[in-house]
A and B are shown apart, each in its own frame.
Chain A
Amino acid sequence: MPLELFTVGDPIADTKAPSDVAIGERWSERRFRGRLVNPANRRKMTVIVVGTGLAGGSAAATLGEAGYKVKSFWYQDSPRRAHSVAAQGGINAAKNYRNDGDSVYRLFYETIKGGDFRSRENNVHRLAEVSVNIIDQCVAQGVPFAREYGGLLDNRSFGGTQVSRTFYARGQTGQQLLYGAYQALERQIAAGSVEQHARTEMLDLIVVDGRARGIVARDLVTGEISTHYADAVVLATGGYGNVFYLSTNAMGSNATAIWRAHKRGAYFANPCYTQIHPTCIPVKGDYQSKLTLMSESLRNDGRVWVPKERGDTRDPREIPEGERDYYLERIYPSFGNLVPRDIASRAAKNVCDEGRGVGPGGLGVYLDFADAIGRLGRPAVQAKYGNLFDMYAQITGEDPYATPMRIYPAVHYTMGGLWVDYDLQSTIPGMFVIGEANFSDHGANRLGASALMQGLADGYFVLPATITEYLADAPFDTVDDSHPAAGEALQNVQNSVQRMLDINGTRTPASFHRELGKLMWDMCGMERSEESLRKALDRIPEIRQEFWTNLKVTGDGQSFNQTLELAGRVADFIELAELMCVDALHRRESCGGHFRAESQTPDGEALRDDENFAYVAAWEWTPENEPPVLHKEDLEYEYVHLAQRSYK
Chain B
Amino acid sequence: MTITQDGARSSVDHSSEKRGMNLTLRVWRQNGPTAKGKMVTYKVTDISPDMSFLEMLDVLNEQLIMEGDDPVAFDHDCREGICGMCGVMINGQAHGPQQTTTCQLHMRSFKDGDTIDIEPWRASPFPVIKDLAVDRRAFDRIIQAGGYISVPTGTAPEAHSILVPKKDSDAAFDAATCIGCGACVAACPNASSMLFTAAKVTHLGLMPQGQPERNDRVVNMVAQQDREGFGGCTNIGECSAACPKGISMETISRLNHDLLGALRAGARPKS
A554/B151 in contact, CB under 8 A = no
Which residues on the A side are within 8 Å of B163 (C-beta)? Answer: 150-152
Report if A149 contacts B (CB, 8 A): yes
Tell me the smallest distance from the CB of A561 to a CB of chain B, in Å. Answer: 8
A289/B58 in contact, CB under 8 A = yes
**B contact patch SS:** loop
> Whose C-beta in chain A lies nearest to the C-beta of B77?
A250
Tell me the smallest distance from the CB of A414 to a CB of chain B, in Å. Answer: 17
Interface bin, chain A: 35 or more
B177/A81 in contact, CB under 8 A = no
A287/B51 in contact, CB under 8 A = yes
B209/A140 in contact, CB under 8 A = yes
> Whose C-beta in chain B lies nearest to the C-beta of A364?
B11
B71/A140 in contact, CB under 8 A = no
CB within 8 Å of B: which of A161-194? Answer: 169-170, 172, 175-176, 179, 182-184, 186-187, 189-190
Mask: chain B, 65-79; 1 = CB below 8 Å from A; 0 = not: 110111101011111
Task: Tell me, in angstroms, the Cα distance from A65 to B203 when the chains sit together.
Answer: 23
Tell me the smallest distance from the CB of B143 to a CB of chain A, in Å. Answer: 5
Which residues on the B side are within 8 Å of A399 (C-beta)? Answer: 6-8
Of B59, B83, B151, the contact of A83 (CB 8 Å cutoff): B83
Tell me the smallest distance from the CB of B233 to a CB of chain A, in Å. Answer: 22
B9/A398 in contact, CB under 8 A = yes
Which residues on the B side are within 8 Å of A395 (C-beta)? Answer: 52, 104, 106
A397/B11 in contact, CB under 8 A = no
Report if A73 contacts B (CB, 8 A): no
Q: With contacts A142-B204, A555-B70 known, is A78 near B157, CB below 8 A?
A: no
Report if B258 contacts A (CB, 8 A): no
Of B31, B77, B104, B173, the contact of A169 (CB 8 Å cutoff): B173
Q: With contacts A139-B162, A151-B165, A153-B159 known, is A287 near B66, CB below 8 A?
A: no
Q: With contacts A153-B160, A285-B51 known, is A560 near B6, CB below 8 A?
A: no
> Whose C-beta in chain A lies nearest to the C-beta of B133?
A560
Mask: chain A, 50-86; 1 = CB below 8 Å from B; 0 = not: 0000000010011001000000000011111111011
Report if B108 contacts A (CB, 8 A): yes
Tell me the smallest distance from the CB of A568 to a CB of chain B, in Å. Answer: 15
Q: With contacts A76-B83, A140-B209, A396-B9 known, is A285 near B173, CB below 8 A?
A: no
CB within 8 Å of A: which of B134-165? Answer: 135-137, 139-140, 143-145, 147-160, 162-165
Report if A380 contacts B (CB, 8 A): no
Tell me the smallest distance from the CB of A466 to a CB of chain B, in Å. Answer: 14
Tell me the smallest distance from the CB of A482 to a CB of chain B, in Å. Answer: 32
Q: With contacts A151-B164, A169-B173, A395-B106 known, is A292 near B80, CB below 8 A?
A: yes
Report if A18 contacts B (CB, 8 A): no
Report if A542 contacts B (CB, 8 A): no
B73/A560 in contact, CB under 8 A = yes
Which residues on the A side are within 8 Å of B83 (C-beta)? Answer: 76, 80-83, 85-86, 250
B65/A140 in contact, CB under 8 A = no
A97/B176 in contact, CB under 8 A = no
Tell me the smallest distance from the CB of B9 to a CB of chain A, in Å. Answer: 5
B149/A140 in contact, CB under 8 A = yes
Q: Say which one of B12-20, B111-119, B260-268 lies at the interface with A.
A: B12-20
Q: With contacts A186-B143, A252-B77, A559-B130 known, is A78 near B32, CB below 8 A?
A: no
A80/B180 in contact, CB under 8 A = yes
A315/B12 in contact, CB under 8 A = yes
> Whose C-beta in chain A lies nearest to the C-beta of B207?
A142
Q: With contacts A315-B10, A360-B16 known, is A391 near B153, CB below 8 A?
A: no
> Whose C-beta in chain B lies nearest to the C-beta of A137?
B156
Report if B62 contacts A (CB, 8 A): yes
Q: With contacts A80-B84, A142-B203, A464-B153 known, is A172 near B145, CB below 8 A?
A: no
Q: With contacts A190-B145, A198-B137, A289-B58 known, is A554 near B71, CB below 8 A?
A: yes
Report if A478 contacts B (CB, 8 A): no
Of B48, B80, B84, B172, the contact of A391 (CB 8 Å cutoff): B80
A391/B104 in contact, CB under 8 A = yes
CB within 8 Å of A: which of B1-39? Answer: 1, 3-4, 6-12, 14-17, 31-32
Which residues on the A side are within 8 Å of B104 (C-beta)? Answer: 391, 394-395
Which residues on the A side are within 8 Å of B81 (C-beta)? Answer: 391, 394
Which residues on the B side are within 8 Å of A135 (C-beta)? Answer: 159
Given A313-B11, A394-B81, A461-B153, 15 additional A-B pairs, CB 8 A: A140-B156, A140-B209, A142-B204, A150-B163, A175-B82, A190-B144, A251-B76, A289-B54, A397-B1, A402-B7, A552-B65, A552-B66, A560-B133, A563-B61, A563-B71
Spell out A's residues near B (CB within 8 Å): 58, 61-62, 65, 76-83, 85-86, 95, 97, 133, 135-137, 139-142, 144-153, 169-170, 172, 175-176, 179, 182-184, 186-187, 189-190, 198, 221, 248, 250-252, 284-285, 287-290, 292-293, 313, 315-316, 358-360, 391, 394-399, 402-403, 406, 460-461, 464, 506, 508, 510-511, 552-555, 559-560, 562-563
**Complex A-B, nearest 9 residue pairs according to Cβ-Cβ distance, in ascending order:** A151-B163, A140-B156, A183-B148, A190-B144, A144-B173, A136-B156, A399-B7, A62-B153, A139-B159
